[in-house]
Amino acid sequence: MRSSHRARAVIPASRSTRRPRDGAVARVEAKKCPHCDAVVRARAWRSHLSLCAPDVLDGAHFERVEREVIRASVKRRHGERSTSYAVCAMRFGFARGSEPVVSARAVARALRMDARAVARAVRAEVDATPWGLEMDWTLGDDDIAYEDATMTVVNKRAGTPSTPRRRVGDDSAASACVARWRTVDGVQGASLVPYVAHRLDLDTSGALVICRTSARAKEVQGWFENRRVEKTYWALCEARGDASDDSGEWHTIEFPLVKRARDDAEPGTFFVEAVLTPEDAPEDAKPATTLFRIVSKSAAHVLVEARPKTGRTHQIRTHLAAAGLPIVGDTIYGAPSDIIDRHALHARTLTFPSDEYPVPIVAHPPDDFKDACASVGIVVDIV
């Protein structure tokens, strides 16, 4: 039986009781996702689209980047004299010197069409545009932790987004996966769609699950949501105070977390605050639990293995900082450093609740993580 101790807190507790402003969440009925057909509640709509249909969520950017690809696709599929071409030419600004017309209603008025027909035509041509075109980089065999006919576990590179931002010229792990599938399977067209089952922060490296079908994605997402996937992370941390116990015993951090807007950054930018005493927790605080142990240590640094039992945003980064173990290179919660140019956090293993997968699936840490550890006298054993 693993022993469990409450982590020592070394940062002040939050006493804020600020609540979300009125009207921050739109009160609308549930909608059906245009890609996976899942019925999604209003509160989860944007987060679901960011994983499943980012071109719907950020249409303006999609149009600017990919209108030439769409133009070629519409011309090939329908010809330049077709209604679809006329609609998309106005909507995406195909004509020389023209600008996109963002409103489907404006296009409908100009072409004397029904606005719903315009929307359907635009959606059909967007859906016909393949994912993963014109990638600046590709996935090699060393980037793959596990792969089968229904999903791929990528060893995501630090600085690479998890989810697609656009279909063409995208730099995300999901788009790179589609490009790999297209090469391996020899499949062309828009039939290959990436479904990202969970997310990693931009600068976190490691194991990321990308599914080939919506059915597999729903199953795997259910495992994550119901906490049936065991995840382990490695973090290189500064050791402050007596937080560097190297007995190998597991410790528990259970500080609630609350998301706060950052006043010193762009609108929509946030940070996460750990609330160290239950009586100080505001109404919007979320319960969070992280297990951790010290794997190795040097004079002033430790290699931590962390197992989040909940899936809160920035959970490990915030919890370890609250426990006196700020992650090296973390400029928001941890310890800015010149030995690594990102936060030293790596998603190392995933264990699924099924005998058909290896136990566990392992994503080995990248060179920048190992080099940072070596620079402070910690050798990373990747076996």
Residue positions annotated with a catalytic role: 201
Q: How far is the CA of 308 from the CAs of 80, 107, 138, 234, 279, in angstroms? A: 54, 49, 30, 11, 23
178: Cβ–Cβ under 8 A, 6 or more apart, which residues? 130, 131, 132, 192, 193, 194
Cβ-based neighbour number of residue 260 at 10 Å? 14
DSSP H stretches of helix in the chain: 45-52, 54-57, 59-78, 83-92, 104-111, 115-127, 173-185, 214-225, 315-322, 367-375
- If DSSP codes are grouped into helix, strand and coil, which group holds residue 383? coil
Contact 55, 165 (CB under 8 A): no
Neighbours of 60 (CB within 10 A): 9
For residue 211, give the nearest of 197, 200, 198 by alpha carbon: 197
What's the token pair of residue 39?
Answer: 């019925």
Helix ranges restricted to H, 96-213: 104-111, 115-127, 173-185
